Amino acid sequence: MLFSSISFLYYFLPAVLILYFIVPKNRKNTILLIASLFFYFYGEPKYVVLMILSSVSGYLHGLWIEKAKVSGNSKLPLASSIVIGFSGLLFFKYTDFFIQNTNWLFNTNIPLLRLALPIGISFYTFQILSYTIDVYRGEAKVQKNLFDFMTYVTLFPQLIAGPIVRYTTVEAELAERSHSFKLFAEGVNRFVIGLSKKVILANTLGELGKIFADSGQKTVLFYWIMSISFMLQVYFDFSGYSDMAIGLGKIFGFQFLENFNYPFIAKSVSEFWRRWHMSLGTWFRDYVYIPMGGNRGSTWKWLRNVAVVWFLTGFWHGAQWNFIIWGLYFACFLVLEKFWLNDFFKKLPSLFRRMYMFFVLTISFVIFNADRLGDGIQNLKGMFGLLKVPFTGPETMYYLRSYGLMLIIAFIGATPLAAKGVAWIKERKHGKSVMNFVEPVFHGLMLLLITGYLVDGSFNPFLYFRF
């Protein structure tokens, strides 16, 4: 069930909200758990058992780790939780990848399993492991209530596509959280903003990508338009979903951490990854990079750590070589920045750093978008005039005029300009009073517009379901 669907917006969510706010405080987690299991069952009925078993496994391993601390042998249950946790993820997400590469290397003919990927498995696996690791480290208290723990794992606002919510972030709120009209209103506003980013911006940019794929008149300019629009589509698709998840969290009394912070204003790759999918970046930093030694020790050890983390970051996104290359691509630029580029760019105006980042990111999303490596190479050749296609043409100019305004809006929306504008108005005399009236009216009109889009059956994919 997509957040950007009529069934979620006008049937599921209102029913859950009514039940949630009429039951006593000690039954609210029960309502959330039942609603979350139904939400997952609606979209993935055969794998809901897998998610429940994963939750129970994480819960039992937490108890085992806590008990084993007394005898000083808690490494065994920790190792068990990691092995069992990753086993499900590896089996369902990566088995066919390993079979395909084995067949290619050894000229074998092992049949593929063609398993359907359980929705959200990458996210809830990492959440469970963050819990068991933090219990082992003494950074989180063991959760002794199974249903509260399952509520954490299955919480539907962030279940299928994140952000990756660590147990320590919501530990206190699972037991006691506050609700208010202010939080509810903030949550609704944030949800509508995310929904607008998803339905109006990401979906429209996705339509442009589909037009490019179906077009028989490719041009160099069209290749660039397609690459940039896909990059923006991914951003608004995923950050829009994160906004919706954070907004729903506020409505139910949870304070999820931010997952995006205007990544396209970054002046370096390292800054970009401090702003993009922050919950994933900090997860790999705290549970892989730092335990391996981080930037301590020799240069070679640091290079090894960077290579491992970015190999895993790419592989987390999907069982295809283009994702691995995409991750290692960023690793190469992180190394280049550390040893050369940062010093070089310090001597130049910041505009050059932004141009550099725009170029690096555009190329990265071409790699990310390639179902096969050959497709990515073909698209890069098209962008740099290495195919026998003209620079532009009538069809390219037609679609540039048709989608030009949306691309401009998307560029502006990917920067903090709009947020700064609203903040500036609120600082003026009577500005806050005016915005207190304008914002809910604007969000209401946006919801009506979005509903029209959805009733019309508009193009409505969600890219991060495949991760």
273-285: pLDDT as tens digits:
999 999 999 999 9
Distance in angstroms (rounded) separating the CA atoms of residues 63 and 40: 26
| Alpha helix positions (H), 264-320 | 269-275, 278-284, 299-317
Identify the active-site residue in 179, 317, 430, 443.
317
**In b/e form, how buried is each residue of 99-122, taking b as 16+ CB within 10 angstroms?**
eeeeeeeeeeeeeeeeeebbbbbb
Mean pLDDT of the chain: 92
Out of 55-64, 155-164, 243-252, which region has the weakest mean confidence (pLDDT)? 155-164
Is position 179 annotated as part of the catalytic site? Answer: no
| pLDDT at residue 193, as a whole number | 95
Distance in angstroms (rounded) separating the CA atoms of residues 264 and 358: 8
Stretch 390-416: mean pLDDT: 93
R_g (Cα) of the chain, nearest Å: 23
- Residue 335 Cα distances to 178, 300, 303, 306, 340, angstroms: 45, 11, 8, 8, 8
Contact 254, 170 (CB under 8 A): yes
Predicted model pTM: 0.93
**In b/e form, how buried is each residue of 180-205, taking b as 16+ CB within 10 angstroms?**
eeebbbebbbbbbbbbbbbbbbbbbb
Contact partners, residue 449, CB within 8 Å, separation at least 6: 200
Can you count the helices (H) and strands (E) in the chain?
21, 0
pLDDT confidence of 463, banded at 50, 70, 90? low
| pLDDT at residue 454, as a whole number | 87
**Interhelix angle 220-251/394-413, nearest 10 degrees:** 30
